[in-house]
Structure 1
Amino acid sequence: MPGFGFTPDNGDEQEPEGNNPFGFENFGEIFKQFSGMGLNLPALMASLSGQASPASLSKEMIRDISRKYLSAHGEVPVTVEDLTQIQEAINIADLWINEATTFPSLPLTDSIALSRRDWIDSTLNGWQELTKPLVDSMSGALSSMLDQGLGEQGEDNGISIPGFGPMSISKSSINAIMATFMSSLISTQLGQSIGALSTTVTGANDVALPLSKDIKAQLLPQNVRAWGSGLEIQEGEIRIYLALREIAAARLFKQSPWLSGYIAEVISAYGSGIRIDISAITQSAQDAMDSGAIDPSNPESMASALSGGLFTPETTASQSAALEKLETLLALIEGWIDAVVVKAASDRLPSLIKLRETQVRRRATNSPTQQLFATLLGLEVSPRLTREAISFWEKLEKIDSISARDKIWEEAFLLPTASQLLDPEGFSKSRKIPDDLSGLI
């Protein structure tokens, strides 16, 4: 399936004359397809009249789609027994973690057990902020497309769209219409992804991303039970293991507030290489409608039909570098959490090896974070890189200390690159200042 209108920026490459996909005639074809999907263009244009800035992601739409997905898969309420069991696991895990990291304990709250719906509601702001750089890049690409294809047309008297009679649209309105359409598509995809994640995540921080400014250690009892189903391990031991992971992640995110901004910068760097290809949008939409993949009465069917090709897998060198940074960071976060948990529980949890193997296997095949980034960016975090990150943190602690290991999270520039993960000893030496500096003069 062709990419849904997003391709890497070709830099200075010029389109051949006479083959400009951005001409306003193509908008007529796009808008005809919008109408065929049940979109009332005159009403949409009236509502967007004079709107200069592109639309943003709709939190309400994301929430509604997430909840709709959840309703189809079911949830059970948190019980008093759940609260008691989770509280006990959190308290034990918090004590054990103190011996495995220098990051201080967080205040424990009463809201330590979440339902699936609670998790969706508590993370919506974080998801919206996380994907905002991508939407901003899309908006910039839309503006560039319009400037290239329409030039000075439409600023004053509007543009007449072929096939729509006397109706004319200003360039800013076209920009707003396209941005609204794209934002709706991203909102739908994000909502579906969050809904799916709500049925698998075991804790507020299980996605290994800082999604809330008010960082807490919280578990989802329903998903914790599902995670341990069939393992033939005592439920209490499973709860403590997952509580250890949750608390380790919460402490890391609390002590590294720069993480959210850094991730946003990396996603923005990736998004800066996106450009919009009208001809690809037209072809993808037409193919999907011809095959019956899109149901005009169901807007969500468009996201489902085209999600596999929303972003093309081909990337520029700058985009590849951004994806490598993000992949390495996600592996480092997961690796640090694992190393800390093993340090805290190695002589305390009888089934630690089996629990750890289960976690690694599920991360490799069904990682919550990987599901989302694969959908939005085409990014897949290599299980090999995660294993290398786990080994890196374990060896670095033995070479230096727990304190030296944790200090690396103070700033982004202190983190190792993907290639440095294979040489923790060399990485450690590169960060140390020799006692005798005379040789450097």
Structure 2
Amino acid sequence: MFGSPEQMAAAMRQFADMLSASPDAGPVNWDMAKNIARHAMVAEGGDPSVMEGERREIVEALNLADLWLNEVTALPSGVVNPQAWSRSEWIEKTVPVWKQLADPVAARMVETMGGTLSAGGLPPEAQAMAGPLMGMLKQMGGMMVGQQIGQALGSLAREVVGSSDIGLPLSDTAALLPGGIAAFSHGLETPSDEIRLYLALREAAHHRLFQHVPWLRAHLLGAVEEYAQGITVDVSALEEKLQGLDLSNPAQLQEVLGGGELLKPEETERQKVALNRLETTLALVEGWVATVVDAAAAGRLPSAVALAETVRRRRATGGPAERTFATLVGLELRPRRLREAAALWKALGDERGVERRDAVWGHPDLMPTSDDLDDPTVFVKGGIELDLSSLEAGDEHQGDDRADGGTDGGTDGEDRDSRG
């Protein structure tokens, strides 16, 4: 059962020893998460160092790709200091953004766990001793969430090819991973330099958006945080797990607080709006990137069409972005929106030209909505008069105004009238 008070005290000291290794004040033990990510990555394929020749090839590919993009988009370059990263470097350099994405979910999850326990989820014989344990149990919950996140990042590090191929602004630095490119290339009968250049085009195109659309970062991260506010823990499942819990058994407590299957998003209007906004914006980012990359590669990379289809299949079968969001945020993206978004951007460019197409990124209220992806005709034929200089100047005040996540489903209809 629960053991003697002495056994419980010894178990709590053991928990305290584990927790003392992390100085983090947040809901996730990120030092532990990074260590678990590295161990998971090394255990399933290793992390070879980047050789000087590989580094030089990647820097050259990113610089050349950036020059090609100048001809097909009005957005200026976002490649300042191109780099080649190992998988460990990718983990280290992208963790700050993962913290922004995962901490709101983890905080909600740990808070709910603590509330459930203090409300009587513990078995009766443990209730008398529960009070002093609440803080430590919540910390243990945070540690278990960190373990889950570490496993997810370790798996992701083995697959990503760059700093932006999951469609989020994970770093201000344009970078490619030789190990990720090799994994992507496996089984493809395409020259390695073509593959490297194609992936460099995608990386450089993402950075044009992330560096020169000032509201985009806050819009994406704000939508994730908004979605996280609706995350709850399946209380009935947690209480069932707590029945018969032996608090003197650290392994059993870790199993209960593992938490992955306990995440349960609420079906509220707020949840639906945040999910729609996030899915639509990610699809628009990916669709624009696909459109400008196809244009830049045309006539230069003979295998561009085949590589584009490989990327689409990779995303449609549950690629890195889908699996990462499912693990860290509790949601899955709908890959079908990516193809629809690409079709909209291409039609918009054909109808209005490159400058007016890219000027749409100048303000979130000008962006296509989910309804526009379903039927782009009205949006493509509609007139948007926007001075491109406002986009190039940055409109820094927009980032502040839209820090709450930007346009949501509740304003789509109103904004459509003003877009004319």
For the aligned pair, the TM-score class normalised by the smaller chain equals 0.7 to 0.9
1:61-102 CA distance string (max 9 Å, x none): 110110110120212111111012112211221110111211
What letter corresponds to residue 242 of structure 1 in structure 2? L
Q: Distance in 1 between matches of 2:9 and 2:265?
A: 30
RCO comparison, higher one (Cα < 8 Å, 6+): 1
Q: Note if contact 1:133-1:264 (Cα within 8 Å) is conserved in structure 2.
A: no
Q: Distance in 2 between matches of 1:243 and 1:39?
A: 54
Residue 189 and residue 408 in structure 1: after superposition, are their counterparts in 2 closer, same or farther (change >3 A)? farther
Gaps of 5+ in 1: 1-28, 151-159, 435-441
Q: Partner residue of 1:383?
A: 335
User: Which stretch has the larger CA shift, 193-202 or 124-133?
Assistant: 124-133
TM-score, structure 2 as length reference: 0.78
Q: Distance in 1 between matches of 2:162 and 2:103?
A: 24
Q: Answer yes or no: is 1:187 the counterpart of 2:146.
A: yes
TM-superposed CA distance for 1:142, in Å, is 5.5
Identical amino acids, percent of aligned pairs = 37
Specify the SS of the correspondent of 1:312: strand
Q: Partner residue of 1:404?
A: 356
Q: Partner residue of 2:369?
A: 417
Residue 425 and residue 400 in structure 1: after superposition, are their counterparts in 2 closer, same or farther (change >3 A)? farther
Q: Answer yes or no: is 1:223 the counterpart of 2:194.
A: no
Instruction: Choose from 256, 265, 274 the match for 2:213.
Output: 256
Q: Answer yes or no: is 1:246 the counterpart of 2:246.
A: no
Q: Partner residue of 1:133?
A: 104
Q: Answer yes or no: is 1:122 the counterpart of 2:81.
A: no
- Across the two proteins, how many residue pairs are aligned to each other? 376
Q: Partner residue of 2:227?
A: 270
Specify the SS of the correspondent of 1:366: coil
TM-superposed CA distance for 1:415, in Å, is 1.9
Q: Distance in 2 between matches of 1:396 and 1:37?
A: 66
Q: Note if contact 1:93-1:247 (Cα within 8 Å) is conserved in structure 2.
A: yes
Q: Note if contact 1:188-1:303 (Cα within 8 Å) is conserved in structure 2.
A: no
TM-superposed CA distance for 1:338, in Å, is 0.5
Residue 165 and residue 209 in structure 1: after superposition, are their counterparts in 2 closer, same or farther (change >3 A)? closer
What letter corresponds to residue 150 of structure 2 in structure 1? G
TM-superposed CA distance for 1:146, in Å, is 7.6
1:208-234 CA distance string (max 9 Å, x none): 10123xx12111011112211221111
Q: Answer yes or no: is 1:211 the counterpart of 2:211.
A: no
Q: Distance in 2 between matches of 1:298 and 1:39?
A: 15
Q: Note if contact 1:161-1:167 (Cα within 8 Å) is conserved in structure 2.
A: no
Q: Partner residue of 1:169?
A: 131
Q: Note if contact 2:26-2:103 (Cα within 8 Å) is conserved in structure 1.
A: no
Q: Distance in 1 between matches of 2:79 and 2:36?
A: 33
1:349-393 CA distance string (max 9 Å, x none): 101111111111111113211111112344222222111011011
Residue 47 and residue 96 in structure 1: after superposition, are their counterparts in 2 closer, same or farther (change >3 A)? closer
Gaps of 5+ in 2: 387-420
What letter corresponds to residue 328 of structure 2 in structure 1? L
1:8-54 CA distance string (max 9 Å, x none): xxxxxxxxxxxxxxxxxxxxx9x99xx99999336758999xxxx98
Q: Answer yes or no: is 1:88 the counterpart of 2:60.
A: yes
Q: Partner residue of 2:290?
A: 338
Q: Partner residue of 2:408?
A: none
1:413-436 CA distance string (max 9 Å, x none): 3222111113334114555369xx
TM-superposed CA distance for 1:117, in Å, is 0.6
Q: Note if contact 1:248-1:337 (Cα within 8 Å) is conserved in structure 2.
A: yes
Instruction: Choose from 248, 272, 275 the match for 1:320.
Output: 272
Higher helix share: 2
Q: Distance in 1 between matches of 2:264 and 2:142?
A: 18
